[in-house]
Structure 1
Amino acid sequence: MSMQESNVPHEKGLDNSIKLLTEGYHYIPNRCRRFDSDIFTTHLLGQKVVCISGSEAAKVFYNEEIFRRKGAAPIRVQKTLFGQNGVQTMDNAEHKHRKQLFMSLMTAEHLDELRTITTEQWQYAIDKWVRKNRIIFFKETQEIMCRIACQWAGVPLWAKELKQRANDFGSMIDAFGAVGPRFQKGKRARKRAEKWIRTMIKQVRSGQVIADEHTALYAMSWRRNLNGKLMSRQMAAVELINILRPIVAIARYVTFGALALHLHPETRRKLQSNENDYSQMFVQEVRRFYPFGPFLGARVRKRFTWRNHDFKEGTLVLLDIYGPNHSSAIWESPNEFNPERFRDFQGSPFNFIPQGGGDYMGHRCAGEWVTVEVMKTSLNFLTNHVDYKVPRQNAKFSMIRMPTIPKSRFIIKNVRWN
């Protein structure tokens, strides 16, 4: 061991993967507190891993000269969440070329259309909810998000296949931190979804399905690689799913938003008046307070030193996502739900990273704007147009389950238009 490495804390043990699975979101923050350090080394999944946390760590992590994404995402995650060889696993010119495709869909016009679609789909859903006594909010919202995603992307979706498609997207997301049955379910869901979208890409290219030119379906179907050749149908399917799946994932945030409204009833009135764009503050606080992604991974591209640690080429590095969102070094009273903290918050690409950090043409999540707009539109709709009751239930959520969700999936009843 070199002198540079000797000052960096190391977690003992031949492999600490079981500890990761039993501590979940708290695995990295717990050790940062224990070691009083924003960096430590450990062994996970049979390899040495460096774990880092905090805004300074994020600045380093998103330096593309010293980090690469290729080879960082485990195959098991690619086979469920990302899809194999998707944009999240790319680097350099190839990544920028593919990322431009995603960013081209984030124009003001596209986001306006997304807000309109979101409102329409909530109206459609509530018309059905008022005829039911009891609603499992997360399950129903996942289906709403699936309809929103497909309509916005221009993907035809028959009513009879909605449950299957929504469940498949949900299973891919649910498999992120899973082993055993949840992982296998996510893998099967990924195969079904890719087959469905591959067929659709084929039909667009053959003229059997006409895709509007401004939609993601059209963009993915006709996108060419740097060599000038059309993306393969498989790769086009993977990337179109990388538009659809993250929108379905917003169901978790909207569910946590509904839970926050229940636990903090004073926020409902503030959302209704929306003074000083309170909905923006509320949504950002939901994204900060409630768990979503626990960490992100990258591999060292070229050797460098940070915090007296020698980062060797090829080493896997995990950036803590959950911990900084609950750090007293960044937030006052971080374990309290307080949307007003965002009134004058001077955020940076590295100190508020619930879906990752850096700039948008780098590896920051291209769907972050989509997440915020869909959440704002959904929660504004629920507070301004709908009344409902929340029965007694177990709405607690596990910090070990990744990704987490209220145990009851949040139940509401007696839904009425107001």
Structure 2
Amino acid sequence: MATKDLSGIPRTRVPDASLSLLRDGYVFISSTCDRLQTDVFRTRLMLKRAFCVRGAGAAELFYGSGLFSRKDAMPPTVVHLLQDYGSVQMLDGHAHAERKRLFLALLEADGIRDFTATLAEVWEARAARIAAGERIELYTELNRMLTEAALRWLGLPATQNQVRLRSQELSAMVDHAGTTGPHNAWARMIRRRSERWAAQVIALIRSGDLTPRPGRPADLIARHTEEGRPLSTEVAAVELLNVVRPIVANARFVVFAALALWQHPQWRQEFARGDLSRLEPFVQEVRRFYPFFPLIGGRSVRPFTWRGYAFPEQSWVLLDLYGTNHDPRSWSEPGSFRPERFVDREPTAYDLVPQGGGPYETGHRCPGERLTIATVETMVRLLSLADYTVPAQDLTYTMRAMPALPRSGLIVSGGSR
């Protein structure tokens, strides 16, 4: 079959679309695709040629073909704050499979149940404060709660000072991943402080001066071997952060879930009655509907053909995660919050991609996705039972801020349901 020249791919009007990406945020790729009537367009971002793609078919290409590496596929400012170099998401082939084996062991069903039980214990103290009339910003409180629960689950000390410091650091990594300039530089400095803490934890476990119970995640990471050798202290520290940071990042999903409970109170009432039959569909719709991360990048490891076009090796491809979650070809009325859509419909590996797509066990799909779902389910159940109200505040969010969050952080206070 004859292939078409890349010059036939629609392109943006401006020679470099970096400012357009900053202006349009989450909808940059999808709105450009709509305007050009295509699922793939070419442009330049930061002066580099890029191909932007959207939809379940594009996600299958990106995650299901083995064509793409994460190396040199995202700006260093993003990589350092999130996955960092040497981490599981930066690896490919056998090395990736070996490292992902560690994460799958950490996140088996028993480990997930252990974490959510710990989170429920941590929540009880906050729920009592809210019921007593205290006003709290849910986002900030969730960062602290998730940090405390994560440290306890890992098997590490969770003193008040440790929770405060780690919470500030871990939330800053996520809050500023999509920024540039001084804010990003500050967050990267904070990241280095976190790496020093994590490296010290690994060294203390290996020396026997810190002894989490055998089988706890921190112990498993410190003892993990690949080809008969333990991970370097630096890499083990990065992977320790890559367990706890995504847990804290789930604060955004929980805030949006709480927003949905408030704006669609029939769901809160249903869960408060103890009817949890549609809890998972509700959480899946939260993950589909609300913005989390906008896009993901990859570089092709060999030439490939897609939609009739022949792409060269090292093509930089950006997959629209948010736009794929809102593609009307996959989702009826994608702009409406409708959890019932998931009651009789299981998402595929490529149409629901807030945390990436493809096979969970072997691909680059986020290994913490199941823990995310369980975390949000737990908090939705607990929030539905809690006695609180949402006072007047600015609950809007902008699609330019990546990652997004309601402007108020969602303030709650004790009061009538």
Which of the five TM-score ranges fits, normalised by the shorter chain?
over 0.9
Match of 1:338 in 2: 338
Match of 1:255 in 2: 255
SS in 1 for 2:241: helix
Q: Hey, what's the Cα distance between the residues in 1 that align with 2:48 and 2:221?
A: 36
Q: Hey, what's the Cα distance between the residues in 2 that align with 1:310 and 1:134?
A: 57
| Residues 288, 354 of structure 1: 8 Å contact kept | yes
Paired residues, what number? 414
Q: What is the CA deviation profile of residues 290-321 of structure 1, one whole-angstrom value per residue up to 9, with x for unaligned ones?
A: 00010111101100110122211111111110
| Residues 281, 339 of structure 1: 8 Å contact kept | yes
Question: Are residues 218 and 60 of structure 1, via their aligned partners in 2, closer, same or farther at CA, if it must alter by over 3 Å?
Answer: same
| Deviation of the 1:181 alpha carbon | 2.9
| Residues 305, 311 of structure 2: 8 Å contact kept | yes
Match of 1:264 in 2: 264
Q: Hey, what's the Cα distance between the residues in 1 that align with 2:205 and 2:129?
A: 33
| Residues 171, 182 of structure 1: 8 Å contact kept | no
Q: What is the CA deviation profile of residues 104-160 of structure 1, one whole-angstrom value per residue up to 9, with x for unaligned ones?
A: 112221122122112111112223334453111110011111111111122222212
Residue 233 of structure 1 aligns with an amino acid whose one-letter code is T
| Matching of residue 202 in structure 1 with residue 203 in structure 2 | yes
Q: Hey, what's the Cα distance between the residues in 2 that align with 1:20 and 1:100?
A: 36
| Residues 70, 91 of structure 1: 8 Å contact kept | no
| Residues 83, 190 of structure 1: 8 Å contact kept | no
| Residues 78, 85 of structure 1: 8 Å contact kept | no
RMSD (Å) for aligned C-alpha atoms: 1.6
Match of 2:371 in 1: 370
Match of 1:84 in 2: 85
Match of 1:413 in 2: 413
| Residues 130, 412 of structure 2: 8 Å contact kept | no
Residue 277 of structure 1 aligns with an amino acid whose one-letter code is S
Match of 1:181 in 2: 182
Note the residue ranges of structure 2 that are not aligned, 5 or more in a row: none
Match of 2:310 in 1: 310
Match of 1:28 in 2: 29
Q: Hey, what's the Cα distance between the residues in 2 that align with 1:331 and 1:372?
A: 20
Match of 1:280 in 2: 280
| Residues 349, 359 of structure 1: 8 Å contact kept | yes
Alignment of 1:383-398 (within 5 A): 383-384=384-385, 386-398=386-398
Alignment of 1:87-106 (within 5 A): 87-106=88-107
SS in 2 for 1:414: coil
Q: Hey, what's the Cα distance between the residues in 2 that align with 1:8 and 1:274?
A: 52
Match of 1:53 in 2: 54
| Residues 131, 387 of structure 2: 8 Å contact kept | no
Q: Hey, what's the Cα distance between the residues in 1 that align with 2:366 and 2:185?
A: 26
Of 143-152 and 236-245, the range deviating more from structure 2: 143-152
Question: Are residues 219 and 3 of structure 1, via their aligned partners in 2, closer, same or farther at CA, if it must alter by over 3 Å?
Answer: same
Residue 28 of structure 2 aligns with an amino acid whose one-letter code is Y
- Using structure 2 for the length normalisation, give the TM-score: 0.96
Q: Hey, what's the Cα distance between the residues in 1 that align with 2:216 and 2:41?
A: 44
| Residues 118, 148 of structure 1: 8 Å contact kept | yes
- Using structure 1 for the length normalisation, give the TM-score: 0.95
SS in 1 for 2:64: coil
Q: What is the CA deviation profile of residues 257-308 of structure 1, one whole-angstrom value per residue up to 9, with x for unaligned ones?
A: 1111111111111222454621101111111110001011110110011012
Match of 2:44 in 1: 43
Match of 2:153 in 1: 152
Match of 1:379 in 2: 380
Match of 2:142 in 1: 141
Residue 19 of structure 2 aligns with an amino acid whose one-letter code is I
SS in 2 for 1:299: strand
SS in 1 for 2:106: coil
Segments of 4+ in structure 1 off by > 3 A?
128-132, 273-276
| Matching of residue 327 in structure 1 with residue 333 in structure 2 | no
Of 244-253 and 301-310, the range deviating more from structure 2: 301-310
Match of 1:214 in 2: 215
Q: Hey, what's the Cα distance between the residues in 2 that align with 1:214 and 1:12?
A: 55
Residue 32 of structure 1 aligns with an amino acid whose one-letter code is C
| Deviation of the 1:69 alpha carbon | 1.8
Residue 196 of structure 1 aligns with an amino acid whose one-letter code is W
Q: Hey, what's the Cα distance between the residues in 1 that align with 2:289 and 2:149?
A: 25
Alignment of 1:220-235 (within 5 A): 220-226=221-227, 228-235=228-235
